[in-house]
């Protein structure tokens, strides 16, 4: 099988599952479709031979962030929070904006000739964890340490958000 | 080692086997066995007490906070994997870098504990 | 292309065999669970189906299939079915990266007895384990039963909390090995240099987390009968319930195999060289497969043993142990191990670290007890 055929199949699957995320009525179904979308994206990473990113994508996005989404959805009272359907004007405006964005994106990609990797300089093992670590802890040391401060701020934010209000009823 | 994308192909064999097993068992278990319905039986089981409302009720924010903290810590651990793999090359410099990183992590952790987010008795 | 196809077919056979072994071991774990429980309580245990009750798993399966497959009226039907299926799927997908044996040479071609050898080996296990939450949460939520929901939320919180300590515990292994590939982790440990000697604390953290991830006693709160009826599988019957229980046994076996890989040298066993000299390397590899499965079954036995030894935790105790106990402990372990490797004496420093920790805990305990009395 040709590798580009695999890519086309995978991309179609990714787009389809991503569409199902926004089209399914039940938010839990949306979460499951989104998890599947992340798996498709991980498969793309495998095709690019970026194996560490593939694993991290599964662990962080499918395994952690989507669990958080699931918790949030379960915290809502689904019956009370059904969004009212939008008016036709809103729908029209939405499709115009989305269509324009699509055209712009396609134009950008067509305009910029992204150079293909040179055959003799290309190293297929660039995406392995050993090489990634050497770059991250050498060249990008400062951003890495700043990330820990970002995490610290996020923790404080989470604590503030999670303050219990008086008179709430829950389990 | 020279790792290539086709190393992952056997995963699909395993996935196919697992899916086939699951689908087969699910079809069988629905086909076999009796089917008897009644209003009381189809109700959700709550030890014989008549159930009031349903389970679509908000849950405690504590669980939500645990999930948020889990996401944050999980990310930090993911950052530690490339470091651990390169630990011997990075030597003492890498060690100090990680001490700083883990120090900030620990500071956040102590803050969370002091704020009583992880106390469940209350 | 020809070579890739041959390798792929060989790998497919290995994956298939591992799959079959996993299912078989899980099925017979249910039998041995009951036999061991009976032994520990001075009973006989199942002995009617076949000699010594050896056909009990078959009888259980037939019974499970013949039961009514019950779906509550106000549940969410498709999600209700998806819950146990997801649980089973995540349990079945982990075994691919476990190296079951060294390489064998058949007809001039050499194959590793491992499903896939990838750069991120051990992270594949963690990725799939972190997805295990979905089966439980979706099943519990779709049941539309308050007890099931509570059980599901508890199980999910427990799993994600212990995943953190688990992820931190293996960082020390990566520091020693310098690779995420399970094959390399095992190869570094050959000839008796098992990681357990260098990482006693890491192993303790890891095995506690493994118990919590498998929802085994003393961490089986999500399904604790006294408070929550059946926990997240209250509404389940027939083979859907069977899937939840069966997934637990598969997880036990796989976590045993992972622990053997990470800490007990994988397929290494005393006298590899002797067997290789006497019978050739192929036989030595297959004995290695036996050694790995033996080690995993040993862990499965420990799981069952602990079930009849330690009572269940309370929920706040469980969360406190996971967050304020194991996570700082794992961080301490990372620092101690890092220091040990850089100084060049990993063994001495890890033992010293453990002794220091126990001493500190002892002093802390003494002070705390004094304070409470005063």
| pLDDT per residue as tens digits for the range C126-148 | 889 888 889 888 888 888 888 88
Report H helices in C41-145: 56-66, 77-93, 121-142
Q: Do B97 and A77 touch (CB under 8 A)?
A: no
For residue B73, the distance in angstroms to the closest alpha carbon of chain C comes to 7
Interchain pair A35, C131: CB under 8 A? yes
Query: How far apart are the C-alpha atoms of A30 and C314, rounded to whole Å?
Result: 34
pTM: 0.89
A109 lies in the same domain as A88: yes
Is residue A10, in this structure, part of any structural domain at all? yes
Question: What is the rounded (10 degree) CA torsion for A4, C109, C120, A130?
Answer: -100
Other beta carbons within 10 Å of C356: 12
Tokens of C335: 């620092």
> CB distance C65–B88 less than 8 Å?
no
Query: Quick one: residue B33, left, alpha or beta (phi over 0 = left, psi -120 to 50 = alpha)?
Result: left
Q: Per mean pLDDT, which range of A51-60, A82-91, C116-125 is the poorest?
A: A82-91
Number of domains in chain A: 2
Q: Is A9 part of any domain? A: yes
What does residue B51 show for φ and ψ, rounded to 5 degrees?
-85, 140
A96 pLDDT above the threshold of 90: yes
- In which domain, by residue range, is A37 found? 3-127
Residue A171 lies in a domain: no
User: Bridge-partner residues for C114, per DSSP?
Assistant: C99
Confidence (pLDDT) at C111 = 77
Q: Per-residue pLDDT averaged across C296-314, rounded?
A: 89
Q: Which residues of C touch B33 (CB under 8 A)?
A: 65-69, 238
Instruction: Round to whole Å and give the CA distance between C169 and C201.
Output: 9
State yes or no: pLDDT of C225 exceeds 70.
no
Do the domain assignments include residue A121?
yes
Residue A120 lies in a domain: yes
Regarding whether A161 and A89 lie in a shared domain, the answer is: no
Question: Do residue A23 and residue A102 come from a single domain?
Answer: yes
Q: CB–CB of C160 and A32 under 8 A?
A: no
List phi, psi (to 5°) of C69.
Answer: -85, 100
Judge whether A119 lies within some domain.
yes
Per-residue confidence band for A84, with pLDDT thresholds at 50, 70 and 90: low
With H, G, I as helix, E, B as strand and everything else as coil, classify residue C105: strand
- Average pLDDT over chain B reads 82
Do A57 and A93 lie in one domain? The reply is yes
C-alpha dihedral (C197, C201, C203, C204), degrees to nearest 10: 130
Contacts of C299 (CB under 8 A, 6+ apart): C252, C255, C256, C259, C260
> Is the domain covering B59-122 a CATH 1.20.58.1610 domain?
yes
Per-window interface: C 167-196 vs B, CB < 8 A: 167-168, 171-172, 174-175, 178-181, 184
Phi-psi region at A100: left, alpha or beta (left = phi > 0; alpha = psi -120 to 50): alpha
Predicted pLDDT at A103? 95
pLDDT by residue (tens digit) across B94-114? 888 888 888 888 888 888 888
B117 chain-A contacts, CB cut-off 8 A: 159, 162
Cα separation, C177 vs C119, whole angstroms: 13
SS3 category, C112? strand
Bridge partners (DSSP) of residue C103 are: C112
Alpha helices in chain C (DSSP H): 2-40, 56-66, 77-93, 121-142, 146-177, 182-188, 195-198, 200-213, 225-228, 238-263, 272-279, 281-307, 315-320, 327-343, 346-373
Q: What is the pLDDT of residue A81?
A: 56
- Does residue A166 register a pLDDT over 60? no
The rounded distance, in Å, linking the Cα atoms of C120 and A129 is 8
pLDDT digits (tens, 9 = 90+) for C240-256: 888 888 898 999 999 99
| Adjacent-strand bridge partners of C232 | none
CB contact at 8 A, B67 and A67: yes
State whether A76 and A34 are in the same domain. yes
What is the share, in percent, of chain C residues with pLDDT greater than 90? 11
Contacts of B78 (CB under 8 A, 6+ apart): A56, A59, A60
Closest CA to C212 of C84, C297, C123, C319: C319
Q: Say if B14 is an interface residue toward chain C (CB within 8 Å).
A: yes
Residue A165 has pLDDT above 70, yes or no: no
Segment C6-22 shows an average pLDDT of: 85
Taking the C-alpha atoms of residue A48 and residue B71, their distance in angstroms, rounded to an integer, is 26
Same domain, residue pair A123 and A68: yes
Does A132 lie in the same domain as A115? no
Query: pLDDT-based confidence at A169, cuts 50/70/90?
Result: low
Name which of A31-40, A77-86, C120-129, C335-344 the model is least confident about: A77-86
Taking residues B59-70, what's their average pLDDT?
83
Whether A64 and B70 lie within 8 Å, measured CB to CB: yes
SS3 A79: coil
Backbone angles phi, psi at C270, to 5 degrees: -65, 135
pLDDT at position B97 is 85
ipTM score assigned to the predicted complex: 0.88
Q: Side-chain half-sphere of C160: how many Cα atoms within 13 Å?
A: 34
> How far apart are alpha carbons A134 and C364 in whole angstroms?
40
Q: A89 and A48, same structural domain? A: yes
DSSP state of C100: E
- Render pLDDT for B16-64 as a digit per residue (tens, 0 to 9): 989 999 999 888 888 887 888 787 777 777 766 777 667 677 777 788 8
**Per-residue pLDDT band at A79 (split at 50, 70, 90):** low
Mean pLDDT of the A46-64 span = 88
CATH number, domain of A103, equals: 1.20.120.1200
């Amino acid at each position: 099988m040709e590798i580009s055929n695999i890519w086309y199949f995978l991309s179609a699957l990714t787009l389809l599952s991503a569409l199902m995320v926004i089209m399914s009525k039940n938010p839990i179904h949306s979460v499951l479709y989104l998890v599947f979308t992340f798996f498709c994206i991980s498969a793309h990473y495998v095709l690019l031979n970026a194996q560490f990113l593939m694993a991290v994508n599964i662990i962080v996005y499918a395994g952690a962030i989507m669990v958080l989404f699931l918790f949030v959805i379960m915290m809502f009272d689904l019956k009370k929070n059904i969004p009212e359907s939008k008016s036709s004007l809103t729908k029209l405006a939405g499709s115009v904006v989305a269509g324009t964005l699509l055209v712009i994106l396609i134009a950008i990609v067509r305009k910029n000739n992204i150079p293909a990797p040179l055959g003799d300089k290309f190293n297929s093992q660039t995406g392995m964890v050993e090489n990634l670590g050497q770059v991250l802890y050498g060249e990008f040391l400062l951003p890495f340490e700043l990330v820990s401060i970002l995490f610290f701020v996020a923790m404080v934010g989470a604590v503030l958000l999670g303050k219990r209000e008086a008179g709430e009823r829950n389990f | 080692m020279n790792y290539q994308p086709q190393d992952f192909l056997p995963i699909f064999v395993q996935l196919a086997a697992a899916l086939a097993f699951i689908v087969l068992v699910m079809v069988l278990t629905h086909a076999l066995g009796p089917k008897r319905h009644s209003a009381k039986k189809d109700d959700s089981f709550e030890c014989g007490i008549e159930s009031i409302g349903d389970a679509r009720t908000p849950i405690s924010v504590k669980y939500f906070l645990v999930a948020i903290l889990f996401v944050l810590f999980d990310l930090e651990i993911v950052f530690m994997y490339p470091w651990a793999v390169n630990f011997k090359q990075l030597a003492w410099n890498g060690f100090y870098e990680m001490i700083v990183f883990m120090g900030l992590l620990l500071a956040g952790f102590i803050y969370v504990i002091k704020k009583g987010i992880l106390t469940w008795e209350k | 292309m020809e070579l890739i196809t041959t390798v792929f077919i060989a790998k497919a056979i290995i994956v298939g065999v591992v799959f079959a072994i996993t299912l078989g071991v899980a099925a017979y774990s249910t039998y041995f669970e009951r036999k061991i429980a009976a032994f520990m309580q001075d009973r006989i245990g199942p002995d009617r189906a076949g000699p010594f009750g050896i056909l009990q798993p078959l009888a259980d399966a037939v019974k499970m299939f013949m039961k009514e497959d019950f779906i509550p009226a106000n549940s969410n039907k498709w999600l209700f079915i998806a819950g146990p299926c997801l649980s089973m799927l995540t349990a079945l997908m982990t075994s691919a990266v476990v190296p079951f044996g060294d390489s064998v040479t058949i007809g001039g071609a050499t194959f590793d007895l491992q499903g896939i050898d990838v750069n991120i080996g051990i992270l594949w296990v963690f990725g799939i384990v972190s997805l295990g939450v979905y089966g439980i949460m979706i099943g519990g939520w779709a049941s539309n039963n308050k007890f099931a929901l509570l059980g599901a939320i508890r199980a999910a919180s427990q799993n994600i909390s212990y995943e953190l300590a688990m992820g931190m515990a293996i960082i020390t292994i990566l520091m020693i090995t310098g690779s995420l590939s399970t094959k390399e982790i095992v190869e570094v440990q050959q000839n008796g240099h098992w990681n357990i000697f260098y990482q006693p604390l890491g192993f303790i953290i890891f095995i506690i987390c493994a118990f919590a991830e498998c929802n085994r006693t003393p961490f089986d709160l999500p399904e604790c009968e006294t408070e929550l009826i059946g926990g997240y599988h209250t509404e389940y019957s027939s083979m859907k319930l069977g899937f939840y229980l069966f997934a637990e046994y598969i997880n036990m076996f796989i976590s045993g195999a992972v622990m053997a890989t990470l800490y007990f040298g994988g397929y290494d066993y005393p006298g590899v060289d002797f067997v290789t000299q006497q019978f050739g390397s192929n036989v030595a590899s297959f004995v290695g497969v036996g050694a790995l499965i033996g080690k995993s079954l040993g862990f499965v036995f420990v799981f069952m043993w602990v079930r009849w030894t330690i009572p269940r935790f309370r929920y706040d105790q469980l969360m406190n142990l996971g967050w304020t106990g194991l996570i700082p402990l794992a961080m301490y372990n990372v620092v101690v191990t890092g220091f040990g490797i850089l100084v060049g004496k990993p063994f001495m420093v890890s033992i010293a670290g453990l002794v220091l920790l126990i001493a500190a805990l002892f002093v802390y305990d003494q002070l705390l007890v004094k304070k409470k009395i005063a």
